[in-house]
């Protein structure tokens, strides 16, 4: 049997996020919080690899929920979208509540460019959720 060396890391999380994570760990039946973190990291890596394989002509959406109270974030999102206006066919903006905005961006273009746009949005501080969905109409 091959022995795998485990590395210990430290992560700082807000109480609310950790509480939600602990609930999921319990509901899914993980033996420990560490097992849940390992599974989450595996899923994150898998998603990253999938996103980097989005190639060719694609049609899709980026769904974004962000903190509207974070100073300057709305302007940064607008500037990013202007830089990728050749991909964006339409967008819809909804105020969910005083703090949260939902934006749905409809796209068409090169998969590599769409991925680049999605990655630039998810990396912003104050973006709480971002999901890229694409399809190839050529298949």
Please state the pTM of the whole predicted model.
0.71
Non-local (6+) Cβ contacts of 39 within 8 A are 30
Instruction: Return the H-helix or E-strand segment holding 116.
Output: helix 111-122
Average pLDDT in the 33-47 region? 85
The pLDDT of residue 20 is above 60: yes
Q: What is the pLDDT of residue 90?
A: 96
Residue 106, beta-bridge partner list: 61, 90
Q: What is the CATH number of domain 57-135?
A: 3.30.70.1150
Average pLDDT in the 26-43 region? 89
Secondary structure (DSSP) of the chain:
-PPPPP--------HHHHHHHHHHHHHHT-SSHHHHHHHHHHHHHHHHHHHTT--SEEEEEEEEEEETTSTTHHHHHHHHHHHTTTTEEEEEEEE-SSSEEEEEEEEEEEHHHHHHHHHHHHTSTTEEEEEEEEE-TT-
Q: What is the pLDDT of residue 137?
A: 76
Q: What is the pLDDT of residue 1?
A: 66
Q: What is the pLDDT of residue 9?
A: 87
The 10s digit of each residue's pLDDT in 46-66 is: 777 777 777 889 999 999 999
């Amino acid at each position: 049997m091959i022995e795998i060396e485990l590395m210990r890391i430290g992560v700082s999380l807000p109480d609310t996020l950790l509480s939600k994570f602990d609930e999921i760990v319990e509901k899914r039946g993980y033996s420990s919080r560490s097992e849940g973190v390992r599974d989450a990291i595996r899923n994150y890596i898998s998603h990253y690899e999938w996103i980097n394989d989005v190639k060719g002509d694609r049609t899709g959406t980026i769904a974004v929920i962000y903190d509207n109270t974070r100073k300057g974030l709305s302007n940064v999102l607008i500037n990013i979208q202007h830089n990728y206006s050749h991909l964006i066919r339409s967008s819809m903006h909804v105020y969910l509540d005083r703090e949260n905005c939902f934006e749905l961006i409809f796209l068409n273009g090169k998969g590599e460019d769409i991925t680049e746009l999605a990655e630039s949005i998810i990396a912003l501080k104050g973006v709480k959720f971002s999901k890229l969905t694409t399809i190839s109409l050529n298949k």
